[in-house]
Amino acid sequence: MKSNRITEKFQELKASGKKGLITYMTAGDPNLETNIEIASIMESAGADLIEIGIPFSDPVADGPSIQQASIRSLSKGITMLQIIETIGKIRQRVKVPLIIMTYYNPILQYGLEKFVVDAVLAGVDGIIVPDLPFEECGQLFDFTDSAGLCLIQLVAPTTTDGRMEKIFSRSRGFIYCVSVTGITGIRNEINTDLRSLTARISKYTTLPIAIGFGIGGPLQAGMVAHYCDAVVVGSALVDTIAYAKDSQTMLIQVNSLIKDIKTALS
């Protein structure tokens, strides 16, 4: 598969001895136009990759914060086509890799091949489909590989070594390591033995490892970063976007949170 921005970004981070920060927002929350501004702020504040979640009515991997963001977005009647068009506008504003996180049903409804083609045209570099088992990824892998799009795989503390080896045989971009068993959301502490988990992952792949689920702020991000190449911060940013008193305050707070996390990673 040809090189893409995700591969290049992780090569750049490794060469400079830095840890990456992957930030998340839900498309359509608070609205699509503001998503463009948020992405721009995320990049300027130090995000290395940006993950954009497609709202879905049954988000099995998501905790309360992202579930509520999905509900707010869906209540506006936002479509996949509108989201992809917005991502195209985001791509005009930012240079960092863009990743779509979506459940399988919205892709299926849109059409697998059409989704991949339109995503690539919009400037998307990778996709994550948390409810699609590796064994059922075959057709989507065929489309993403030929288009140069990374279909990023998730592994959890419960994933066996044998299954890891199988999953990594077709993994692209980076490995998304779920730090806890369960749904997304801020945790007071992460009890998983991340050292042994990431050591197991590294036995079977040379791909970079990003750790997500449960990272609430700078302190946790700094601690988790010892065991990986990048950290993913989702719910903390989604809450910042949701609870700010107005749009301008929200952008300032998003900027501040990302800068604080980047400082903790350095």
Q: Is 62 a catalytic residue?
A: yes
Helix axis angle for 112-122 and 80-93, nearest 10°, is 20
Does 215 fall in a domain? yes
Among 232, 231, 172, residue whose Cα is nearest residue 205: 172
Does 216 fall in a domain? yes
Active-site residue, from 43, 62, 118, 239: 62
pLDDT tens figures, 70-125: 888 888 999 999 999 999 999 999 999 999 999 999 999 999 999 999 999 999 99
Among 103, 104, 107, 88, residue whose Cα is nearest residue 39: 88
pTM: 0.93
Give the pLDDT confidence score for residue 185 in this predicted structure: 45
Does 156 fall in a domain? yes
Q: Is 113 a catalytic residue?
A: no
CA distance 20 to 10: 8
The count of other CB atoms within 10 Å of the CB of residue 20 is: 26
Does 265 fall in a domain? no
For the domain that residue 101 is a member of, what is the CATH number? 3.20.20.70
pLDDT tens figures, 65-74: 888 888 888 8
pLDDT tens figures, 128-159: 999 999 999 999 999 999 999 999 999 999 99
Instruction: Check residues 67 and 199 and name the one with the higher pLDDT.
Output: 199
Domain hosting 221: range is 5-259
Question: Does the pLDDT value for residue 183 go beyond 60?
Answer: no
Q: What's the total number of domains in the chain?
A: 1
Question: Does the pLDDT value for residue 199 go beyond 80?
Answer: yes
Report residue 181's pLDDT band, with 50, 70 and 90 as the boundaries. Answer: low
Active-site residue, from 29, 43, 48, 51: 51
Does 264 fall in a domain? no
**What is the percentage of the chain residues whose pLDDT exceeds 90?**
79
pLDDT tens figures, 9-44: 999 999 999 999 999 999 999 999 999 999 999 999
Does 131 fall in a domain? yes
